[in-house]
Structure 1
Amino acid sequence: MLVVRPIKDSDFDVLMLCAEESGTGFTSLPVNYELLRDRINHSIDSFARNAISPGTESYLMVAEDTITGEIAGTTGIEAAIGLENFFYSYHISKVMHYSHRLNVHNIVEVLTFVNNYIGATKICTLFLRPRFRGGLHGRLLSKCRFLMFAQFPDKFSDIIFAEMRGVSDNEGHSPFWAWLQANFFSIEFTLADYLTGIGQKDFIADLMPKLPIYVNLLSDEAREVIGQVHEKTRPALRLLQKEGFACRGYIDIFDAGPTVECMRQNIDSIRRSFTARVKIAEHNSAQDYLICNNDFQLFRAIETQPGVDQKRNEVLIKQEVANALLVSEGDIVRLVAV
């Protein structure tokens, strides 16, 4: 059984392993000792802060096998983006060029360099190690964050968004970046992606074109990948789309992967979630649920098959499940059917 919990100092080595296994294009997990150490420390501080409104907090969690103690993957949340560092995107829009005299009009798409997600909550750093893929583990790592949003709404923004990894090849070459590099930059995609991951973003504002870019001026290869996701990211995108996330025309400035967003109260798992009182007992059930406890600083979430008594507003769980969630009989938990 996997249990999601806040990251600890002792998880550093496995977080570095996740960074190495994630590959190019996974900006939030760069292979950098100091940055990963800082991310762990910042997460520990953020959980301890117990914020009453969204700020610069960053919450990083891992999924741990309760039997072996092995870490299966990681998942994260940025409470409010853009309060200390700019968060850049391209926004896709349309303009019309019209000549009344010639009776000619052309509608063209343009990319505008923007910083429009200030204060929004970002879900990020979802990575499941290769040998744990398959089954329902990825669903737990993704949806546990929605239970956290539902249980502790004051700590997060009304707008939740995620950047989806765009198209690049096995060597880390991005067709979209190749066009930008040829016209505005002189560095490889892998270096630009790495610099962004470690927080060195000044070069973006310095070198990125400030005026809108006409999409029809891009290379064919660059145009084809706008708004497209990496093949390894498709399952994560489908999961978010089922939750109600959609692209509102924003894409990543490096690989043109789509940004998807949803109002917090409209996320499907949040709308369907409910709280119930714990009753520890043996039971038989075939319905899968995600369950989280009611302790933010000691947050725990698992996927299991509890017994649900809606009339009594009780959830029946076994002792090993209660142990994993750090709950006792009579405690309140939040759950959602999956």
Structure 2
Amino acid sequence: MSFRIRAALPKDIRAMYDLAKLTGGGFTNLPADKDTLEAKLERSEAGFSRKGEGPSDDLYVFMLENVETGQIRGTCQVFGQVGNDRPFYSYLISTLTQKSEELGRIFRNQALTLTTDLEGSSEVGGLFLHPQERAGGLGMLLARSRYLFIKQHRPRFGDMVLAELRGVMDPAGHSPFWDAIGGRFFGMSFPEADEFNAVHGTQFIADLFPKTPIYIAMLPESAQSVIGQPHPTGRAALKMLENEGFVWDSYVDIFDGGPTVTARTDRIKTVMDAEWLRVGGVNEEGGSTMMLAAGVYHEFMACYGQARQTANGELLIDAAAMDMLNVGPGDRVLAVAR
């Protein structure tokens, strides 16, 4: 396989913009706005270049590159720490149980409460794979490469990682959840609000969103039915996150009501299972498919490779993977089973 993950470069702006136009909207971390994407790439470059350790408001953008053609066929992102320089909002679904002695009934009412509970977490997001490449495990390569990067640079990330999944929208790109809540306070359609958020950030939410809990039973059925539900195209992404140990703990996105899932950083499956191994040489005798990563910060790269471990614990890797990772005998790689 001739695909690898590498750190994004300023020259990737055209490819990133082309990918953003294919998303169909609702991807806050990948808006089809060239100026915003250029700013993301600049911020990413600053994150990779930052000196020192410890979590910060870094953004790391990665590209899926076909090394044979030079084409960019996907992208993903990692945020060092959310809520570092501006509030990070979510809705928490809570339940209030009340009993009426006169009626002889118990009522359980669910409510949406605006919260910043998840501040301080790291975030994985912005994952998008070109529609023509959605086979052969490339989506998994994109997704899991982020956890390998986190393990390589563990001090830069929080103790919790979150992922926000796009919520349900109609064919025209409108969100029934937004129409029932946000649209009533902002006078904006969902596409307009989502674009504004992607470009300007979330401060307008603090300025205008209601601070009191919102009873779910008072929302239209069209909105109630999509709370905590991922967009149909995001179900595979949710399954991959669940396989890594992410769980939904009743937090939803304030824009479209999609689920926000979380995991303890050191309990993410790829983080736990990946091992540092020394390269012993070229593998010429088969082996098993592994995900491999090498390089730090802007030199980070990841790919699939055919590898096998020797009796002395070294790892033999196929020549193509060694070339893509720019490693040789004696170098260390981070390896995990596919």
TM > 0.5: yes
Q: Which residue of 2 aligns with 1:29?
A: 30
- Relative distance call for 1:203 and 1:297 in structure 2 (3 A) is closer
Q: Which residue of 1 aligns with 2:158?
A: 157
CA deviations 1:278-314 (Å, max 9, x no partner) are 12224233522110014333001001221222x3121
SS at match of 1:277: strand
Deviation, 1:101, is 5.3
Q: Which residue of 2 aligns with 1:331?
A: 331
Superposition misfits of 4+ residues, deviation over 6 angstroms: none
SS at match of 1:305: strand
SS at match of 1:276: strand
Unaligned runs of 5+ in 2: none
CA deviations 1:132-174 (Å, max 9, x no partner) are 1111100000000111122221111110010001000221111
Q: Which residue of 2 aligns with 1:131?
A: 132
Alignment of 1:23-102 (within 5 A): 23-100=24-101, 102=103
Residue type at the aligned position of 1:25: G
Deviation, 1:103, is 4.0
Give the TM-score normalised by structure 2.
Answer: 0.96
Residue type at the aligned position of 1:302: C
Deviation, 1:65, is 0.7
Query: Is 1:296 equivalent to 2:297 in the alignment?
Result: yes
Cα distance between partner residues in 1 of 2:289 and 2:300? 20
Query: Is 1:109 equivalent to 2:98 in the alignment?
Result: no
Deviates more, 1:228-237 or 1:200-209: 200-209
SS at match of 1:83: coil
Asked whether the equivalents of residues 63 and 73 of structure 1 are also in contact (C-alpha less than 8 Å), the reply is yes
Cα distance between partner residues in 1 of 2:46 and 2:271? 26
Cα distance between partner residues in 2 of 1:102 and 1:171? 45
Asked whether the equivalents of residues 82 and 118 of structure 1 are also in contact (C-alpha less than 8 Å), the reply is yes
Deviation, 1:331, is 0.7
Alignment of 1:1-338 (within 5 A): 1-100=2-101, 102-181=103-182, 183-309=184-310, 311-338=311-338
Cα distance between partner residues in 1 of 2:177 and 2:161? 26
Asked whether the equivalents of residues 183 and 189 of structure 2 are also in contact (C-alpha less than 8 Å), the reply is no
Residue type at the aligned position of 2:281: I
SS at match of 1:39: helix
Asked whether the equivalents of residues 58 and 79 of structure 2 are also in contact (C-alpha less than 8 Å), the reply is yes
SS at match of 1:91: strand
Asked whether the equivalents of residues 50 and 296 of structure 1 are also in contact (C-alpha less than 8 Å), the reply is no
SS at match of 1:76: strand
Cα distance between partner residues in 1 of 2:12 and 2:52? 24
Asked whether the equivalents of residues 283 and 306 of structure 1 are also in contact (C-alpha less than 8 Å), the reply is no
User: Number of matched residues?
Assistant: 337
Deviation, 1:96, is 1.5
Asked whether the equivalents of residues 30 and 194 of structure 1 are also in contact (C-alpha less than 8 Å), the reply is yes
SS at match of 1:285: coil
Residue type at the aligned position of 1:176: F
Give the TM-score normalised by structure 1.
Answer: 0.96
Asked whether the equivalents of residues 283 and 307 of structure 1 are also in contact (C-alpha less than 8 Å), the reply is no
Cα distance between partner residues in 2 of 1:164 and 1:70? 26
Cα distance between partner residues in 2 of 1:285 and 1:221? 53
Cα distance between partner residues in 1 of 2:52 and 2:331? 22
Identity of aligned residues (%): 34
Unaligned runs of 5+ in 1: none
Deviates more, 1:230-239 or 1:289-298: 289-298
CA deviations 1:54-111 (Å, max 9, x no partner) are 1011100101111111111101100000111221110001001223455432111110
Deviation, 1:50, is 4.2
Asked whether the equivalents of residues 168 and 174 of structure 1 are also in contact (C-alpha less than 8 Å), the reply is yes
Residue type at the aligned position of 1:74: T
CA deviations 1:204-253 (Å, max 9, x no partner) are 12221110011111111100001001011111100010111011110011
Asked whether the equivalents of residues 175 and 190 of structure 2 are also in contact (C-alpha less than 8 Å), the reply is yes
SS at match of 1:184: helix
Cα distance between partner residues in 2 of 1:167 and 1:27? 14
CA RMSD of aligned residues (A): 1.4
Cα distance between partner residues in 2 of 1:244 and 1:169? 30
